[in-house]
Amino acid sequence: MRELYLIKSNKTEEWEKGVRKISFACDDPDIHAFVWVDPSERLIGIQIIFRERVLEWDKSSGVSQGDTNRGANEGAHGYQKGARSIHNQVHSIGQSDLALLKTLLFPGEWDSLVKSCFNVLEKGN
């Protein structure tokens, strides 16, 4: 199980256009997650980055997966800084990606909230 933890900062308290972004990190530096909530604290978006694979859920369009622009150049340039862009995005998630999601453990109630959006809750949760 890979445990994620909530990143607490002033940035997580900022609202932009009625949305707040909450960030999660892991001891594995290649795993990050971001959750967007509305003023009622309801989920409106999720993005999970595992290495350079991106799994997303959006309230209006559902699930999708893709790859970042960093994966293609990783061998030639080593570590890359800067913003990622998502490529090869499709509106479905494969079984291997769903299995990966099951290995993540978000803190507290975030675990069931996030996993329910991707339909990967273990029985009994």
Nearest-angstrom CA–CA distance, 21 and 45: 9
Specify the pTM.
0.80
Q: What is the pLDDT of residues 19-74, one digit of tens each?
A: 999 999 999 998 999 999 999 999 999 999 988 788 999 999 888 888 777 554 44
Q: What is the pLDDT of residue 77?
A: 46
pLDDT band with cut points at 50, 70 and 90 for residue 11: confident
